[in-house]
Structure 1
Amino acid sequence: MAGSDTDRTGAINLDPSSLREAFGHFPTGVIAIAAEVDGTRVGLAASTFVPVSLDPPLVSFCVQNSSTTWPRL
């Protein structure tokens, strides 16, 4: 993503204007939420995804309480 950089911990530093543009490309639908946990890739699909803040970059999403993947993320 243009305007992004990586810090020493490997976390991505996002430029708020680039993040706003990226959020603008998501109208509605299903989104994949994924992470690498202890060397294993885990993920799930969510139908609720809402941008909350540009600085700090935050999003909100809803996951079913019975999800077995959610605790691993």
Structure 2
Amino acid sequence: MKLELTTKSGLISAYGLACGYTESKPGKGGSTQLWMEHGVFHVRKHDFDTGQRIFWKSFSTLAEARRAFAAA
């Protein structure tokens, strides 16, 4: 069995996140990150213009984290 690091749509898979890979997307003046740590999925958004963290949310499921990542 071959475990894939990415999904068919190109996103990092749950296995990839468990291996330490992260997803990041640039935004207006900042970026948003999605990663997994100790079985918990984190989504964090920073504004680099002001040096402020906009939010940092933690989720127990990847589906919830992906929804927050997509909405950010």
TM-score by length of 1: 0.31
Q: Please say which structure displays the higher CA radius of gyration.
A: 1
Could you say which structure has the higher helix fraction? 2
Task: State the structure with bigger RCO (CA 8 A, min sep 6), 1 or 2.
Answer: 1
